[in-house]
Amino acid sequence: MLPALEARYQMHLTPLAGGAEARTFAGDGLVFKVYPPTSQPGGIYAARLEALNMTKAGLGDWVVETYNLNQYGILVTRRYPGANFTPERFHQAALEELARFFVRLHAIPEPGVVSRTRLQDRLQQFGSTLHDLPQARQLVGWLWAHIEEVAGTPQAFCHRDPHAGNILLKHPEAQGVPEALVVDWIRAQPDDPARDLAILTTGTLVMLGEAQALAALRYMVSCYPQPQALWRRLRFWVPLTYLHDMHWFRTKEPNGFEAAVADKLPKALRFYQEFSPELA
């Protein structure tokens, strides 16, 4: 696919870090995301789905085109003048940009509410996967008591994967672009906005250190129209997200499981045990 793209656009392309669904290349102000027909979703369907999700999220200006090439779906976007999130490059203006963006995103209503059955299934699954870790089992037990605080929450349009690899920060010299940009929209779906913020916390903000991550999260939540209810749901979602990460390592990358537990389980316990129900 790379020679075919280079010939079509008459430019040299270099590979970028890609996700599980697609390969990504960049060149001369453009980014090319290549979806194989075998991925799920795959081919042109995946390329068009991501373009539609970006447009729905208010990022349609970044989309250049989508098309089918040898059964591969191609999504072409403008290249953002920035790089992946790092603590050293993160600053107040970027935090404010992320807050504005997620507030706008989560103002897009979606049908349905958060499913009680889905929450129960997740807790049962994580309790089973992590059955040999007493503290993880204890945390699962604590979270059962908060299901009613989350179940029935009206859903909104959510990114559902805002980890550090999907958060770009602007180069200092760049002009006319936002301070931060959220990329990789293939998994966007209706969900609880608190889940988006939990993934952002455990996968991105925590790189700042736990205290600074909590302060950044408090600031973002304070920008929402109904911050208090959103804040209280995070007592459930942040620890659950850490449990999900440990479950993922045990089932997908077992060689990294011990390190993941050593890193994530104490953070999950601290967040839950030290959580203040009042945002202010």
Are both 2-78 and 83-273 of the same fold?
A: no
Peptide bond into 154 cis (omega under 30): no
* Domain ranges (residues) in the chain: 2-78, 83-273
What is the layout of strands, in order, in the sheet containing 82-84?
82-84, 167-170, 180-182
Q: What is the pTM of this model?
A: 0.96
- pLDDT computed for residue 1 by the predictor: 85
Task: Grade residue 41 by pLDDT with cuts at 50, 70 and 90.
Answer: confident
The CATH number corresponding to 83-273 among 3.90.1200.10, 3.30.70.3270, 3.30.70.141, 3.30.70.1150 equals 3.90.1200.10
Is residue 1 within 8 A of residue 70, CB to CB? The reply is: yes
Neighbours of 193 (CB within 10 A): 24
Among candidate residues 52, 65, 85, the one with its CA nearest the CA of residue 9: 65
pLDDT in tens, 108-144: 999 999 999 999 999 999 999 999 999 999 999 999 9
Using the predicted structure, report yes or no on whether residue 82 has a pLDDT greater than 70.
Answer: yes
Whether residue 18 has pLDDT greater than 80:
no
Q: Does domain 2-78 have CATH number 2.30.130.10?
A: no
Please compute the mean of the pLDDT values over residues 93-116 and round it to a whole number. 98
- Residue 56 CA to its chain's centroid (Å): 16
Predicted local confidence at residue 39, as pLDDT:
79
Q: What's residue 185's pLDDT?
A: 97
- Between CA 251 and CA 24 the distance in angstroms is 26
Q: What is the pLDDT of residue 38?
A: 86
| Tens digit of each residue's pLDDT (9 = 90 or more) over 238-268 | 999 999 999 999 999 999 999 999 999 999 9
Nearest to 69 by CA among 30, 28, 36: 36
Nearest-angstrom CA–CA distance, 206 and 56: 28
Stretch 168-173: mean pLDDT: 96
Helix, strand, or coil (residue 216): helix
